[in-house]
Chains A and B, each alone.
Chain A
Amino acid sequence: MLTAVKNQLKITLLTIKFALMREMLNKVTFVTNIIFMILNNASFIVQWIVLYSLKDNVGGYTFNQVLLLWGIAAGTYGVSRFFFKKAFSLAETINNGKLDSFLVQPKNVLLSVITTDVEPSAIGDILYAYIMLFIYGFSIEKFLLFTLFIFTGGFMLTAIAVILGSLSFWFNKTDMIADVGNSLTTNFATYPDGIFKGVVKGILYTIIPVGMINYIPIKILTEFNLGLTIAVLGFTIFMIALAFFVFFKGLKKYSSSNLMIARL
């Protein structure tokens, strides 16, 4: 069992490594993509400077905490898009019958599909996340917790994308729904939860788990809480398990399109 997991992990990392090497063939484009993504994210600081010139506290967050929120949001987005880019176009892969070539591989189908490509600009997101952490206040403890949370958040975003993408096994035209669902989490993730009230706030901690991905990690980074940390880890495992369950349940309904493609 352990050897199988080790082998799977090894092959997944190798796939990501080769995908990255492919992207690095054109170095200028690769570096430009990363730098411009950092600048792209940084531009939103202006929005918060303007808002904090009107009020000292927005939704219970100080300016530094909003920067940390942006750091977590960019980091989770970066991890999910860099390591698991294809999870976000899973619906298209299923609809176009492109799963065929993965089914014959002797490794986990889902992991093979979603790690087959990387998004170079997502490296810019991850770097930006750490820049925000340094501005907020660096310590070894915060660095480790921050790294943990951008990975748990990244895994949760990927799990949501897999679940939404897997709907294509049962229904038509779900790619649009998956796109909207994926952007939902990103849109809410960059605003403090304190500006939302009532039912919406409840939804953000359950159906759209931005609370688990972003808001609770901010609380833990501000003041460490073991119980909340375990809750985040538990929810991450639950989301990953759910994603695997939904995907493999749907895979049984998949019928080959006999599409012949070459994967380089």
Chain B
Amino acid sequence: MRKYLFIFKSELMSNLQYVFDIFVGFIGYFIMLFILFNLWEYMYSDPSELINGYTMSQMTWYVIVTEILWMTLGGRKLCRKICNDVRGGNIAYNINKPYSYIGYSLFSHLGGIALKGLIYTILGMIMGFCFLGEFPTINIFSIVAVLITGILATIISILLITFIGLFSFIIEDANPFYWLYSKFILVLGTIFPIEYFPAVMQPILTFSPIYVVSYGPAKLFVDFSWSNFLSVLIAQIIYVIIGYLLCTLIYKKGVKNLNVNGG
């Protein structure tokens, strides 16, 4: 485990050089939230009105949390890196290293986005307060619980994207699969809570990755309950195990057929 923590730390330290880039990148996040804030302000003729069980303030905070998780993730970059590792042959350098490629990928990406996550969280909260003039009713213990689910959500996302990226072993370019995955999460999990979808879709969405990577933490932030926290946590632990096993399986199968030219 120490070697992975070292990888995490190295990536984190190198990213300290790019704080300016993170702040510039935040402009994109700000614009996206600004658009969604305008959209929900338009949709709610009265801010205290309830739509599918959410007030305008809850909907805005929901989107702020899901967007923090999504924009911090940098999934496209991760998927492209893994695809390039496989296609370019870089992955061969990892085979004889004393660590697992999946573990390396997970901790190096976590290290790369940790600082961004922290900055986006702080600025996102400030922005939400400026838009709405209030925070959701939540105590310090609940905030810690939400943070735990937020970190687990990021770990699951990284594992699932790593799995998609490793599809490059089978087809040359796995990026298009990432586009679909990202839109699935973005449209069905980031913009709306599960309650917004038809009743027939809700159980399916509850068992999908959406529940663990976006809905769970955001719902807890706007409407916290310990029983919900427990459900989200258990689901997330199951998804971490499944995600890791899937990545290991495709990686082991892929490297058996790996053929790298040159050196």
Contact = CB atoms under 8 A, between A and B. Distances in A.
Contact of A50 (B38, B41, B180, B196): B196
A180 B24 contact: yes
B178 to A, nearest CB: 9
Contacts of A183: 28, 31
Question: Is chain A's binding surface mostly helix, strand, loop or mixed?
Answer: helix
Interface residues of A, number: 36
Contacts of A35: 176
Contacts of B177: 36
Given A51-B43, A195-B35, 13 more contacts: A28-B172, A29-B173, A32-B173, A37-B179, A40-B183, A46-B188, A176-B25, A184-B28, A187-B35, A188-B35, A195-B41, A195-B42, A196-B38
Contact of B179 (A26, A36, A58): A36
A43 B27 contact: no
A33 B28 contact: no
B25 A180 contact: yes
A33 B25 contact: no
A32 B183 contact: no
Q: Give the size range of B's interface with the partner.
A: 20 to 34
Given A26-B172, A43-B183, A50 B192 contact: yes
Interface of A: 26, 28-29, 32-33, 35-37, 39-40, 43-44, 46-47, 50-51, 54-55, 58-59, 121, 173, 176-177, 179-180, 183-184, 187-188, 191, 194-197, 200
Interface string B31-64: 1100100110111000000010000000000000
B197 A180 contact: no
A29 B38 contact: no
B155 to A, nearest CB: 25
Contact of B173 (A33, A43, A54, A187): A33
A187 B176 contact: no
A187 B25 CA distance: 14
Nearest to B21: A176
B146 interface: no
Contacts of A194: 42
Nearest to A33: B176
